[in-house]
Amino acid sequence: MKPSAAHVTLYTSIFLLGLNGLFSNGLPIDATTLTHIRSVFAGITLLIFIICIKGTIKLPNLRSVLTVYGIGILLGLHWITFFYAMQAASVAIGMLSLYTYPIITIFIEPFFTRKKVRALDICLAIVVLIGLSVIVSDHLIDEILSDERGLSLGIITGVASGVLSAIFFAFRNTLQKYCCTDVRSDTLMLHQMLLITLILGLFIDTDALSQLNNTQWFYVIILGVVTTAIAHTLLVKSYKLFAAKTVAMVSCLQPVLGSLFAWLILSETISIFTAIGGSIILGVAIYESTKAST
């Protein structure tokens, strides 16, 4: 694939992932149920797509089956621990903890490439984390200073769960890049969605689902088809085209895009913190993606 097409793939995936907040905001179902139902729609979408292009859902061999489903478990654990981090502490703390995963990825990837960790990569990842810290700083300071409900313990629990989520996510993405080279991106995502659907099917709130109106179901379908099936398949493809640490750092644009979409469509205010932090992250993303080779 040409470098220009590879960059389009990467940035399109990040753009679509940034839409998550628009369609999930305000849905009256818990995170586990939402993750399950969007995985169902994502799996159906991917299956139809594979049939239409006359692709295959079959994995090449037993090793691929074990690897793909193992990676699927990591993805499921990542989602569960991330949602728990936000519930235990807050969205701001959950996001900040999760986005340590570019740093973790930088230390993991050399085990596969046998290249040394570059000090510049660590510095860039830290700069990205600083940018995100600026974005959530106003919320973060209020939460840390608050004593309500023993929030200090909640913060510790949330950070620990968020970092654990980051570890799961970093390993999932890196293993996906280097251990699934013989599996198409759409096929890989289909099997991961199937696994997550089966696992989370035991914990869904069917009563809440039955009470969704037509508009809310439309939002759920968009989440499944656009921000899960299409976006994550393109993201998986991006990991095949770029270094894992490059995709990880560019992916940190997601909360920035989420804030931008909320401003454009929901008329939410963009604070000076969001503008400054977003500019920092955007600068690193542009630098990293232009320096990357496919």
Residue 86 has pLDDT above 80, yes or no: no
Predicted model pTM = 0.86
Q: How confident is the model at residue 257 (pLDDT cuts 50, 70, 90)?
A: confident
Q: pLDDT value at position 255?
A: 83
Residue 147 has pLDDT above 60, yes or no: no
CA distances to 28, 165, 291 from 70, in Å = 31, 15, 32
pLDDT, tens digit (0-9, with 9 covering 90-100), for 23-36: 887 788 888 888 89
pLDDT, tens digit (0-9, with 9 covering 90-100), for 91-117: 677 777 888 899 999 999 999 988 888
Query: What HEC string does the chain produce?
Result: CCHHHHHHHHHHHHHHHCCHHHHHCCCCCCHHHHHHHHHHHHHHHHHHHHHHCCCCCCCCCHHHHHHHHHHHHHHHHHHHHHHHHHHHCCHHHHHHHHCCHHHHHHHHCHHHHCCCCCHHHHHHHHHHHHHHHHHHHHHHHHHHHCCHHHHHHHHHHHHHHHHHHHHHHHHHHHHHHHHCCCCCHHHHHHHHHHHHHHHHCCCCCHHHHHCCCHHHHHHHHHHHHHHHHHHHHHHHHHHHHCCHHHHHHHHHHHHHHHHHHHHHHCCCCCCHHHHHHHHHHHHHHHHHHHHCCC
Query: How would you label 225-256 residue by residue, b for 16+ Cβ within 10 Å and e otherwise?
Result: bbbbbbbbbbbbbbbbbbbbbbbbbbbbbbbb
**Percent of the chain scoring above 70 in pLDDT:** 91
